[in-house]
Structure 1
Amino acid sequence: MIDTSKKFLVAGAGKSGVGSVNLLLKTGADVSLYDGKEDLEKEALYEKLYEKKEIPLILGNITKEDVSKFDLLVLSPGISVNAPIAQMFRDQEKPVWSEIELAYQASKGRIAAITGTNGKTTTTALTGEIMKGYYESSFVVGNIGIPYTSVALDTKEDSVTTAEISSFQLETIVDFKPDVCAVLNITPDHLDRHGTVEVYAQTKESIGKNQTKDQVMVLNYEDDTTRAMADRANGTVLFFSLHHKIKEGVSMEGDAFIIEENGKKQIVCTLDDVNLLGDHNYENILAAIAVTYSMGVPVSYIKEGIKRFKGVEHRIEYVDTVKGVAYYNDSKGTNPDAAIKGIKAMNRPTWLIGGGYDKKSTYDEWIEAFDGKVKELILMGVTAPKIADCAKTHGFDKIKFVDSMEEAVSYIAGKAQDGEAVLLSPACASWGMFPNYEVRGDIFKDCVRKLKEN
């Protein structure tokens, strides 16, 4: 429940912040908005707000005196938990919530929450697809397009919400307690924000910190970091595993996806029922089976949901074939580990487009994964020189620098041969050249469409 007697300040005027403001306005709470941009377009902002309400704004600098007027801060995920505004609230012993905490406080029903470095969007979308087939009132929220805050007030006691949760959102949870949570994997990511892999992993693990034994924490047995979380879990642990047989959990035997419980095995589905490519996607399916089964979905409904699911945009998404060359959009490959999965899913000689914003990642394992499969590496963005240097130390020197996606696609189109593939899987974030990975992927797909038209 939201205590509407409190005075709320929401930090950040982006999509997340607007969602938080609108939720609070709908409850009748007293809410103001802070943003660091002094030149924020106020009229454009008010157009996005519930009933176009002209709420009080604090723009640019914020003072301790400003903070003293509020009871609680709702922090957008793009603003660090260590930002001055968050520290000011903590100094005055006032709560700092994430948008996820706010949505949780406002929602009803049961929640399945999914996090991890890679695969969480696909796993969340698949889990949501399965849930929708069985539960009448089912919501799917997160980075897949719908903020949790935008549907929280629509949930009912019999609702089921499937939520994709990022590490940024987990930094400031307080009471958030999902009925089932999943940590899919941990590889170095967002170290520019979290500092160390250890802090990043601890933040991911906190998704289950408020659970009790009657709730379930789904963990990947293949990942050393997530497997170790079982020893500290407050909820009941259910493992999934691609390569190990799990006596109590979800695993693969041959081409079959298996649930084993109390010594009894059930076949959920086989690879013939699956529309996704690559081992990493089979892990996503195993995780979705574990989550939905723990939420009470019968095996027959889980199978039907898997059969319906066609995948997610920007995740090794087949775009088109032009002059015998297949084009794939994996713009969501925003870190080396995700991009490795993109390369592994390719089964033909591949022209690889990479580079972008520097998240302080290392690229050695990504380069090693080329394994004779990558014909040429086309690089753009601020990381291009860093990646090129790394590639050369591993003996790979077939590199081309470009300044735009259009130049990359045009260059490849003039050289690629029938039977080859082109893969956009940058191993980097999009910022700097593109607003987000979706825009980057859309521009790539638009370039391919223009190729075909010409």
Structure 2
Amino acid sequence: MDLSKIKNFQDSIVTVMGLGRFKQGSGVGAAKWLIKHGAQTVITDMKSEADLKESVEEVMKHYSQIKAEVTDRDIYPPVFVLGEHHEDDFMEADLVLKNPGVPFNSDYVIEAEKNKIPVESDVSLFFRYCPWPIYSVTGTRGKSTTTAWFGHLLKAVHEKPVIAGNIQHSPLEDLDWILLEKQPVPVVLELSSWLLESLKNVNIAPKIAIYTNAFEDHLDRYDSFAGYIAAKEMMFKDQGPADMAILNADNEIVAQAASRIKAKIYWFSLKPLAGREGIWVEDKDIVIQVEGKKQTVCAVDEVGLKGEHNLHNGLAAALGAYLAGVPVDRIAEGLKTFAGLPSRQETVREVKGVTYINDTTATSPEGVIAALERFGQDGKVIWIGGGSSKGLKFEEMAKHLHAACKYLILLEGTALAELSKVLGDAVPKVSVDSMEKAVQAASSVAEAGDIVLLSPGTSSFGMFKNEFDRGGQFVEQVKNLKE
């Protein structure tokens, strides 16, 4: 199939592998875009129709709308193959569009590639067709916040920057209007390691690429930590001297990547960086130094989001915005006004003097540690965590939990046995099989001045549809608590 022009999707046969339970996700976004462009779309997922009810409804709603609007060409109803995959759907397709959650070593993907059938993702298609420079963000922690903050800062120079990718929004949903614009549209994409793998054959580089940090994660998908890091560094593979890479000088793994990057490198750090260009903290101020020009942005204590991890995120976003043409005074304003994203150390409610915090996106031990460093200084945290294992180590997280927590509530899942063993009996703990029971248990032991912190340190699969369902259930149960 010739992917050089979008019009070639009309009447083509495209298999979307992995619809996903999240109706704003890559699978649903890709299916909607393909239907709009006249593809005969087959949507296949190993999950059942009941599991995918919301996503199926979203796609069908979109199909009905497009079918009513478009009268000059064929619009085909999507074909759903759920609870199983059919080999013919891959062998007879002109294109396979893979959800990032599906690994490239899937037998169906391998067979499609053997038969010279292109395998793409929503992000790889966007890279191929987007006419404007793309700015990208990856990392183990903070990439969503950095992406959103970067986009917030770009509003100083453009009315409607695109913020998409792993941040719960497929970039294909914006592609059509972008193509009609006569002036450049700034695009910021959050790229997970899974999405970066889908760019292996694209050979188009992001103009600015930000690497927030790197810690062990997703070892249930990768054979080793080295494999995970190699996927992260695919963001830089096609960059050249005219492109820009922004690296975290305070993270050893990220700093080591510099020797393998061909782009011009800029740094961000919580301490001054002599002889380097970038952004850092100096004498309680944030300063930018690029091309020999040093400028003070604002005081650290003026930054809207608190915590060292958020300061790192803000520095990275600010440097990206500066290199993209945003003036320093507007960057200062944006650092002060960005309110953050939901589900990330989000204060839900205070009940009887107890503060409830939703940090459901903390899916690794490092994320939990960051939350405890912010909220656990007084040792009054009641922690809700655990879930599905990703093959990560909990020992360091356990030390922080012991220091910061008065009570531990463990969510049942494949990580439960290992987590229980590592935590031991130093702090009272209980395991529960629902979020309702978790919040009830927390509220029953909490006293005024305590903090109930949902910061799981694991994946959500099993008990929940995804991490946002987990956080949503927490918020719902907290809102149901009586004063």
**Structure 2 CA distance for aligned equivalents of residues 38 and 334 of structure 1:** 25
The aligned counterpart of 1:226 is 254
The counterpart of 1:169, out of the listed 173, 182, 195, is 195
Matched to 2:217, the amino acid is D
Gaps of at least 5 residues in structure 2 are 68-75
The counterpart of 1:73, out of the listed 75, 78, 96, is 96
Q: String of CA shifts for 1:104-132, please: whole Å, max 9, x gaps.
A: 22323221111111101111111111112
How far off is 1:202 after superposition?
Answer: 0.6
- 1:47 matched to 2:71? The reply is no
Query: In 2, are the aligned partners of 1:355 and 1:426 still within 8 Å (CA)?
Result: yes
Query: In 2, are the aligned partners of 1:245 and 1:253 still within 8 Å (CA)?
Result: no
The aligned counterpart of 1:407 is 437
**Structure 2 CA distance for aligned equivalents of residues 369 and 43 of structure 1:** 42
The aligned counterpart of 2:131 is 108
Matched to 1:354, the amino acid is G
The counterpart of 1:263, out of the listed 292, 317, 339, is 292
Q: String of CA shifts for 1:229-271, please: whole Å, max 9, x gaps.
A: 1111122111111235253111111321111123332111222
Decide whether aligned partners of structure 1 residues 35 and 419 sit closer, same or farther in structure 2, where only a CA change above 3 A counts.
closer
**Structure 1 CA distance for aligned equivalents of residues 131 and 234 of structure 2:** 21
- 1:195 matched to 2:226? The reply is no
SS in 2 for 1:372: helix
How far off is 1:13 after superposition?
Answer: 2.4
The aligned counterpart of 2:239 is 211
The aligned counterpart of 2:85 is 61
Matched to 1:268, the amino acid is V
Q: How many residues align?
A: 450
Between 1:72-81 and 1:201-210, the stretch displaced more is 72-81
How far off is 1:161 after superposition?
Answer: 0.9
Decide whether aligned partners of structure 1 residues 401 and 261 sit closer, same or farther in structure 2, where only a CA change above 3 A counts.
same
How far off is 1:171 after superposition?
Answer: 1.2
The aligned counterpart of 1:339 is 368
How far off is 1:71 after superposition?
Answer: 3.3
**Structure 1 CA distance for aligned equivalents of residues 163 and 6 of structure 2:** 25
Between 1:287-296 and 1:16-25, the stretch displaced more is 16-25
How far off is 1:422 after superposition?
Answer: 1.4
The aligned counterpart of 2:72 is none
- 1:302 matched to 2:343? The reply is no
How far off is 1:16 after superposition?
Answer: 1.8
**Structure 1 CA distance for aligned equivalents of residues 410 and 42 of structure 2:** 43
SS in 2 for 1:193: coil
**Structure 1 CA distance for aligned equivalents of residues 360 and 455 of structure 2:** 5
**Structure 2 CA distance for aligned equivalents of residues 215 and 309 of structure 1:** 27
Query: In 1, are the aligned partners of 2:402 and 2:427 still within 8 Å (CA)?
Result: no
SS in 1 for 2:110: helix
Query: In 1, are the aligned partners of 2:41 and 2:77 still within 8 Å (CA)?
Result: no
**Structure 2 CA distance for aligned equivalents of residues 112 and 153 of structure 1:** 18
Query: In 2, are the aligned partners of 1:107 and 1:153 still within 8 Å (CA)?
Result: no
Gaps of at least 5 residues in structure 1 are none
Query: In 1, are the aligned partners of 2:29 and 2:169 still within 8 Å (CA)?
Result: no
SS in 2 for 1:227: helix
Decide whether aligned partners of structure 1 residues 420 and 397 sit closer, same or farther in structure 2, where only a CA change above 3 A counts.
closer
The counterpart of 1:152, out of the listed 156, 172, 175, is 175
Matched to 1:391, the amino acid is L
The aligned counterpart of 1:422 is 452
How far off is 1:330 after superposition?
Answer: 0.7
**Structure 2 CA distance for aligned equivalents of residues 275 and 3 of structure 1:** 42
Matched to 2:191, the amino acid is I
**Structure 2 CA distance for aligned equivalents of residues 58 and 445 of structure 1:** 34
Q: String of CA shifts for 1:109-157, please: whole Å, max 9, x gaps.
A: 2211111111011111111111123213411113333211111222134
The aligned counterpart of 2:390 is 359
Matched to 1:291, the amino acid is G
**Structure 2 CA distance for aligned equivalents of residues 109 and 146 of structure 1:** 18
Matched to 1:387, the amino acid is L
The counterpart of 1:34, out of the listed 44, 49, 60, is 44
Decide whether aligned partners of structure 1 residues 403 and 25 sit closer, same or farther in structure 2, where only a CA change above 3 A counts.
closer
SS in 2 for 1:331: coil
Query: In 1, are the aligned partners of 2:15 and 2:89 still within 8 Å (CA)?
Result: no
Query: In 1, are the aligned partners of 2:137 and 2:190 still within 8 Å (CA)?
Result: yes
**Structure 2 CA distance for aligned equivalents of residues 98 and 191 of structure 1:** 22
SS in 1 for 2:33: helix
The counterpart of 1:19, out of the listed 29, 48, 56, is 29
Between 1:52-61 and 1:328-337, the stretch displaced more is 52-61
Matched to 1:126, the amino acid is W
How far off is 1:359 after superposition?
Answer: 1.2
Decide whether aligned partners of structure 1 residues 105 and 425 sit closer, same or farther in structure 2, where only a CA change above 3 A counts.
same
Matched to 1:207, the amino acid is M
Give % identity.
32
- 1:385 matched to 2:439? The reply is no
Instruction: List aligned pairs for 1:227-266, cutoff 5 A.
Output: 227-246=255-274, 247-266=276-295
The alignment's C-alpha RMSD in Å is 2.2
Matched to 1:132, the amino acid is K
**Structure 2 CA distance for aligned equivalents of residues 339 and 73 of structure 1:** 37
